[in-house]
Chains A and B, each alone.
Chain A
Amino acid sequence: MTQESKKNRVTRRKFIKGLIAAVVSFEIIYVLYGLVGKKRPNLMNKNLFNAGKVSSFENDKIYPFGSGLFYLFKYSDGGFLAISIKCTHLGCMVQFDSKNQGFMCPCHSSKFNKYGEVLSPPATRALDIFPITIEKGEILVDNEHPIQRNIFKPSQLTYI
Protein backbone atom coordinates (compact mmCIF):
# COMPACT_ATOMS: atom_id res chain seq x y z
CA MET A 1 0.00 0.00 0.00
CA THR A 2 1.30 3.47 -0.81
CA GLN A 3 1.79 6.27 1.70
CA GLU A 4 -0.94 8.28 0.00
CA SER A 5 -3.74 5.73 0.22
CA LYS A 6 -2.76 4.83 3.77
CA LYS A 7 -3.33 8.43 4.77
CA ASN A 8 -6.80 8.58 3.31
CA ARG A 9 -7.96 5.14 4.44
CA VAL A 10 -10.54 5.08 7.18
CA THR A 11 -8.97 2.94 9.86
CA ARG A 12 -10.95 1.41 12.69
CA ARG A 13 -9.42 3.90 15.09
CA LYS A 14 -10.40 6.84 12.89
CA PHE A 15 -13.87 5.47 12.43
CA ILE A 16 -14.45 5.06 16.17
CA LYS A 17 -13.01 8.50 16.89
CA GLY A 18 -15.29 10.03 14.29
CA LEU A 19 -18.27 8.15 15.66
CA ILE A 20 -17.61 9.34 19.21
CA ALA A 21 -17.14 12.92 18.03
CA ALA A 22 -20.41 12.74 16.10
CA VAL A 23 -22.37 11.28 19.01
CA VAL A 24 -20.96 13.79 21.48
CA SER A 25 -21.68 16.77 19.27
CA PHE A 26 -25.17 15.50 18.58
CA GLU A 27 -25.76 15.16 22.31
CA ILE A 28 -24.44 18.65 22.99
CA ILE A 29 -26.59 20.19 20.29
CA TYR A 30 -29.60 18.26 21.52
CA VAL A 31 -29.12 19.37 25.12
CA LEU A 32 -28.35 22.95 24.15
CA TYR A 33 -31.39 23.16 21.96
CA GLY A 34 -33.50 21.80 24.77
CA LEU A 35 -32.04 24.28 27.24
CA VAL A 36 -32.01 27.37 25.10
CA GLY A 37 -34.82 26.82 22.67
CA LYS A 38 -37.75 25.39 24.54
CA LYS A 39 -40.17 27.60 26.31
CA ARG A 40 -40.06 26.99 30.00
CA PRO A 41 -43.59 26.20 31.10
CA ASN A 42 -43.30 27.87 34.50
CA LEU A 43 -42.42 31.15 32.84
CA MET A 44 -45.24 31.08 30.31
CA ASN A 45 -48.92 30.73 30.92
CA LYS A 46 -50.19 28.03 28.65
CA ASN A 47 -53.81 28.91 28.97
CA LEU A 48 -55.97 30.05 26.12
CA PHE A 49 -56.96 33.68 26.28
CA ASN A 50 -60.64 34.11 27.12
CA ALA A 51 -62.03 37.02 25.13
CA GLY A 52 -65.54 36.84 26.56
CA LYS A 53 -69.06 35.92 25.43
CA VAL A 54 -69.80 35.60 21.72
CA SER A 55 -72.97 37.60 22.20
CA SER A 56 -71.09 40.67 23.45
CA PHE A 57 -69.59 41.42 20.04
CA GLU A 58 -71.24 43.33 17.19
CA ASN A 59 -70.88 42.48 13.51
CA ASP A 60 -68.23 44.25 11.44
CA LYS A 61 -66.49 45.69 14.47
CA ILE A 62 -62.99 45.38 15.86
CA TYR A 63 -62.12 44.97 19.55
CA PRO A 64 -58.65 45.51 21.06
CA PHE A 65 -57.23 42.99 23.55
CA GLY A 66 -53.98 44.68 24.52
CA SER A 67 -53.07 42.18 27.21
CA GLY A 68 -53.64 39.28 24.81
CA LEU A 69 -51.66 41.00 22.06
CA PHE A 70 -54.42 40.68 19.47
CA TYR A 71 -57.44 42.41 17.99
CA LEU A 72 -60.68 40.50 17.72
CA PHE A 73 -62.52 41.23 14.50
CA LYS A 74 -66.12 40.20 13.95
CA TYR A 75 -66.89 39.92 10.28
CA SER A 76 -70.21 41.11 8.85
CA ASP A 77 -71.48 37.52 8.64
CA GLY A 78 -70.65 36.79 12.28
CA GLY A 79 -67.30 35.01 11.78
CA PHE A 80 -64.43 35.81 14.15
CA LEU A 81 -60.81 36.61 13.36
CA ALA A 82 -58.09 37.12 16.00
CA ILE A 83 -55.44 39.35 14.44
CA SER A 84 -51.99 39.46 16.05
CA ILE A 85 -50.73 42.96 16.80
CA LYS A 86 -47.18 41.93 16.02
CA CYS A 87 -46.14 43.67 12.81
CA THR A 88 -44.88 41.21 10.20
CA HIS A 89 -42.09 43.55 9.22
CA LEU A 90 -39.86 43.50 12.31
CA GLY A 91 -42.16 42.75 15.19
CA CYS A 92 -43.33 46.07 16.59
CA MET A 93 -46.87 46.44 17.94
CA VAL A 94 -49.39 47.80 15.46
CA GLN A 95 -52.25 50.05 16.51
CA PHE A 96 -55.76 50.25 15.13
CA ASP A 97 -56.53 53.60 13.63
CA SER A 98 -60.30 53.98 13.77
CA LYS A 99 -60.29 56.96 11.38
CA ASN A 100 -58.80 54.94 8.51
CA GLN A 101 -60.28 51.64 9.71
CA GLY A 102 -56.90 49.92 9.52
CA PHE A 103 -53.71 49.08 11.41
CA MET A 104 -50.64 51.30 11.51
CA CYS A 105 -47.18 50.28 12.69
CA PRO A 106 -45.32 53.03 14.56
CA CYS A 107 -41.86 51.67 13.88
CA HIS A 108 -41.47 51.90 10.11
CA SER A 109 -45.02 52.89 9.17
CA SER A 110 -46.35 49.76 7.49
CA LYS A 111 -50.12 50.00 6.97
CA PHE A 112 -52.68 47.21 7.03
CA ASN A 113 -56.43 47.16 6.35
CA LYS A 114 -58.91 45.92 8.92
CA TYR A 115 -58.49 42.32 7.73
CA GLY A 116 -54.76 42.66 8.40
CA GLU A 117 -53.69 42.76 4.74
CA VAL A 118 -50.72 44.92 3.74
CA LEU A 119 -51.67 48.31 2.33
CA SER A 120 -48.19 49.78 2.30
CA PRO A 121 -44.72 48.28 2.84
CA PRO A 122 -42.09 47.65 4.28
CA ALA A 123 -44.17 44.74 5.66
CA THR A 124 -44.57 42.01 3.04
CA ARG A 125 -47.09 39.69 4.73
CA ALA A 126 -50.55 40.15 6.23
CA LEU A 127 -50.73 40.25 10.04
CA ASP A 128 -50.67 36.79 11.62
CA ILE A 129 -53.85 35.32 13.08
CA PHE A 130 -54.43 33.17 16.15
CA PRO A 131 -56.58 30.02 16.22
CA ILE A 132 -59.97 30.58 17.86
CA THR A 133 -62.12 27.98 19.55
CA ILE A 134 -65.60 28.69 20.80
CA GLU A 135 -66.72 26.77 23.86
CA LYS A 136 -69.93 27.27 25.78
CA GLY A 137 -70.43 30.58 24.02
CA GLU A 138 -67.05 31.91 25.08
CA ILE A 139 -64.30 32.87 22.68
CA LEU A 140 -60.93 31.28 23.46
CA VAL A 141 -57.88 32.54 21.60
CA ASP A 142 -54.66 30.56 21.41
CA ASN A 143 -52.38 33.57 21.37
CA GLU A 144 -49.16 31.57 21.57
CA HIS A 145 -49.45 29.94 18.17
CA PRO A 146 -49.62 32.53 15.40
CA ILE A 147 -50.58 31.35 11.92
CA GLN A 148 -48.84 33.03 9.00
CA ARG A 149 -50.78 34.07 5.92
CA ASN A 150 -50.33 36.33 2.91
CA ILE A 151 -53.87 37.58 2.38
CA PHE A 152 -57.24 37.44 4.07
CA LYS A 153 -59.56 34.57 3.10
CA PRO A 154 -63.04 33.91 4.49
CA SER A 155 -61.83 30.40 5.39
CA GLN A 156 -59.76 31.98 8.18
CA LEU A 157 -62.92 32.99 10.04
CA THR A 158 -64.26 30.97 12.94
CA TYR A 159 -68.00 30.52 13.39
CA ILE A 160 -70.05 29.40 16.34
Chain B
Amino acid sequence: MHTLIGEIIESRTAEFVAEAVRYDQVPAYGSFVRVMDGELRVYGIVSGAYTGSLDGMSKAKAFFKSIDELKMEQPQIFELLRTEFSCVVVGYAQDGRYHPYYPPIHLSLHLPVEKADDDEILTISQHLGFLEKTLNSPAGNGEELTAAAIRMAARFHPDPREYIVRAGRELLKMLNYDTQRLKSILERVDIA
Protein backbone atom coordinates (compact mmCIF):
# COMPACT_ATOMS: atom_id res chain seq x y z
CA MET B 1 0.00 0.00 0.00
CA HIS B 2 1.67 3.16 -1.17
CA THR B 3 0.53 6.50 0.09
CA LEU B 4 1.10 9.16 -2.49
CA ILE B 5 1.90 12.49 -0.88
CA GLY B 6 3.27 14.57 -3.72
CA GLU B 7 4.87 14.93 -7.11
CA ILE B 8 8.29 16.18 -7.95
CA ILE B 9 8.35 19.60 -9.50
CA GLU B 10 11.98 20.56 -9.04
CA SER B 11 15.02 18.27 -8.79
CA ARG B 12 18.69 18.59 -7.96
CA THR B 13 21.23 15.98 -6.95
CA ALA B 14 21.06 16.87 -3.30
CA GLU B 15 17.49 18.03 -3.01
CA PHE B 16 14.09 17.94 -4.65
CA VAL B 17 10.85 19.86 -4.31
CA ALA B 18 7.44 18.24 -4.58
CA GLU B 19 3.97 19.63 -4.72
CA ALA B 20 1.69 18.15 -2.11
CA VAL B 21 -1.35 16.22 -3.31
CA ARG B 22 -3.55 18.63 -1.41
CA TYR B 23 -2.59 22.03 -0.10
CA ASP B 24 -3.39 20.92 3.44
CA GLN B 25 -1.71 17.52 3.38
CA VAL B 26 2.04 17.80 3.98
CA PRO B 27 4.42 15.17 5.30
CA ALA B 28 5.91 16.01 8.68
CA TYR B 29 9.12 18.02 8.90
CA GLY B 30 12.03 15.60 9.23
CA SER B 31 10.07 12.56 8.06
CA PHE B 32 11.36 10.04 5.55
CA VAL B 33 10.00 9.84 1.99
CA ARG B 34 10.57 7.59 -0.97
CA VAL B 35 10.60 8.15 -4.73
CA MET B 36 10.59 5.22 -7.15
CA ASP B 37 12.62 6.01 -10.23
CA GLY B 38 12.80 2.96 -12.46
CA GLU B 39 15.13 0.50 -10.73
CA LEU B 40 15.97 2.91 -7.94
CA ARG B 41 14.18 3.79 -4.76
CA VAL B 42 15.49 7.13 -3.70
CA TYR B 43 15.00 8.31 -0.12
CA GLY B 44 14.80 11.77 1.25
CA ILE B 45 14.02 13.65 4.41
CA VAL B 46 11.45 16.43 4.39
CA SER B 47 13.40 19.59 4.98
CA GLY B 48 10.76 22.33 4.68
CA ALA B 49 7.35 23.25 3.30
CA TYR B 50 5.66 26.27 1.79
CA THR B 51 2.04 27.16 1.11
CA GLY B 52 1.09 30.02 -1.21
CA SER B 53 -1.11 30.99 -4.13
CA LEU B 54 -1.53 28.72 -7.07
CA ASP B 55 0.00 31.03 -9.63
CA GLY B 56 2.91 31.83 -7.40
CA MET B 57 2.55 35.49 -8.29
CA SER B 58 -0.36 36.85 -6.33
CA LYS B 59 -0.39 36.85 -2.59
CA ALA B 60 -3.00 35.44 -0.31
CA LYS B 61 -4.97 38.04 1.52
CA ALA B 62 -6.07 38.26 5.12
CA PHE B 63 -9.80 37.98 5.90
CA PHE B 64 -9.82 38.01 9.72
CA LYS B 65 -12.28 35.20 9.99
CA SER B 66 -12.09 31.74 11.41
CA ILE B 67 -11.11 28.92 9.09
CA ASP B 68 -14.57 27.40 9.39
CA GLU B 69 -16.24 30.69 8.50
CA LEU B 70 -13.92 31.08 5.55
CA LYS B 71 -14.67 27.61 4.27
CA MET B 72 -18.36 28.42 4.36
CA GLU B 73 -18.20 31.89 2.94
CA GLN B 74 -15.23 31.86 0.60
CA PRO B 75 -14.56 28.22 -0.44
CA GLN B 76 -12.98 29.33 -3.70
CA ILE B 77 -9.92 30.86 -2.05
CA PHE B 78 -8.76 27.41 -0.95
CA GLU B 79 -8.88 26.21 -4.54
CA LEU B 80 -6.19 28.75 -5.32
CA LEU B 81 -3.72 27.48 -2.73
CA ARG B 82 -0.92 25.05 -3.21
CA THR B 83 1.71 23.53 -0.91
CA GLU B 84 5.16 22.42 -1.84
CA PHE B 85 7.72 20.66 0.30
CA SER B 86 11.43 20.13 -0.13
CA CYS B 87 13.44 17.05 0.71
CA VAL B 88 17.16 16.40 1.08
CA VAL B 89 18.32 13.26 -0.70
CA VAL B 90 19.99 10.83 1.69
CA GLY B 91 20.49 7.64 -0.30
CA TYR B 92 18.90 5.05 -2.49
CA ALA B 93 18.23 1.35 -2.75
CA GLN B 94 18.87 -0.85 -5.72
CA ASP B 95 18.36 -4.60 -6.02
CA GLY B 96 17.43 -4.70 -2.37
CA ARG B 97 20.60 -2.99 -1.17
CA TYR B 98 20.68 0.37 0.46
CA HIS B 99 23.39 2.89 -0.43
CA PRO B 100 23.79 5.79 1.96
CA TYR B 101 24.79 8.28 -0.72
CA TYR B 102 23.32 10.14 -3.70
CA PRO B 103 21.95 8.09 -6.62
CA PRO B 104 23.95 8.29 -9.85
CA ILE B 105 21.32 10.45 -11.56
CA HIS B 106 19.15 13.06 -9.97
CA LEU B 107 15.42 12.37 -9.85
CA SER B 108 13.20 13.03 -12.83
CA LEU B 109 10.37 15.54 -12.55
CA HIS B 110 6.79 14.44 -12.01
CA LEU B 111 7.66 11.30 -10.20
CA PRO B 112 5.33 10.46 -7.32
CA VAL B 113 6.60 10.98 -3.76
CA GLU B 114 5.49 8.50 -1.11
CA LYS B 115 5.95 8.01 2.59
CA ALA B 116 8.76 5.58 3.37
CA ASP B 117 7.75 2.31 5.08
CA ASP B 118 8.76 1.59 8.67
CA ASP B 119 11.33 -1.04 7.82
CA GLU B 120 12.85 1.23 5.19
CA ILE B 121 13.20 3.95 7.76
CA LEU B 122 14.89 1.51 10.10
CA THR B 123 17.41 0.56 7.42
CA ILE B 124 18.15 4.10 6.32
CA SER B 125 18.57 5.43 9.79
CA GLN B 126 20.98 2.67 10.74
CA HIS B 127 23.41 4.39 8.42
CA LEU B 128 24.14 7.48 10.41
CA GLY B 129 25.61 9.14 7.34
CA PHE B 130 22.25 10.80 6.73
CA LEU B 131 23.06 13.16 9.59
CA GLU B 132 25.72 14.74 7.44
CA LYS B 133 23.07 15.56 4.83
CA THR B 134 20.58 16.99 7.25
CA LEU B 135 23.26 18.94 9.07
CA ASN B 136 24.32 20.61 5.83
CA SER B 137 20.83 21.12 4.53
CA PRO B 138 20.83 23.77 1.78
CA ALA B 139 18.00 25.55 3.54
CA GLY B 140 20.42 26.51 6.27
CA ASN B 141 18.41 25.02 9.10
CA GLY B 142 20.74 22.06 9.58
CA GLU B 143 20.59 21.74 13.34
CA GLU B 144 16.82 21.97 13.46
CA LEU B 145 16.42 19.46 10.64
CA THR B 146 18.91 17.04 12.15
CA ALA B 147 17.10 17.12 15.46
CA ALA B 148 13.79 16.45 13.72
CA ALA B 149 15.22 13.58 11.70
CA ILE B 150 16.73 11.93 14.76
CA ARG B 151 13.44 12.36 16.57
CA MET B 152 11.60 10.70 13.71
CA ALA B 153 14.06 7.86 13.26
CA ALA B 154 14.45 7.05 16.95
CA ARG B 155 10.82 6.01 17.14
CA PHE B 156 11.48 3.11 14.80
CA HIS B 157 14.30 1.69 16.86
CA PRO B 158 13.72 -0.81 19.62
CA ASP B 159 15.72 1.28 22.11
CA PRO B 160 15.22 4.92 21.10
CA ARG B 161 17.57 6.31 23.71
CA GLU B 162 20.37 4.02 22.69
CA TYR B 163 19.79 5.11 19.10
CA ILE B 164 19.94 8.77 19.99
CA VAL B 165 23.19 8.27 21.91
CA ARG B 166 24.69 6.49 18.95
CA ALA B 167 23.55 9.22 16.57
CA GLY B 168 24.84 11.83 19.01
CA ARG B 169 28.32 10.31 19.02
CA GLU B 170 28.41 10.37 15.24
CA LEU B 171 27.20 13.92 15.21
CA LEU B 172 29.84 15.05 17.66
CA LYS B 173 32.54 13.94 15.26
CA MET B 174 30.80 15.66 12.35
CA LEU B 175 30.63 18.78 14.46
CA ASN B 176 34.35 18.60 15.04
CA TYR B 177 33.78 17.82 18.69
CA ASP B 178 31.92 21.05 19.27
CA THR B 179 29.86 20.05 22.30
CA GLN B 180 28.03 23.36 22.33
CA ARG B 181 26.43 22.66 18.99
CA LEU B 182 25.78 19.07 19.89
CA LYS B 183 24.02 20.22 22.98
CA SER B 184 21.79 22.59 21.05
CA ILE B 185 20.77 19.75 18.75
CA LEU B 186 20.21 17.18 21.46
CA GLU B 187 18.07 19.59 23.41
CA ARG B 188 15.65 19.42 20.52
CA VAL B 189 15.51 15.64 20.62
CA ASP B 190 13.23 15.28 23.57
CA ILE B 191 12.52 11.67 24.25
CA ALA B 192 9.88 10.88 26.77
Same complex? no
**A residues within 8 Å of B by Cβ?**
none
**B residues within 8 Å of A by Cβ?**
none
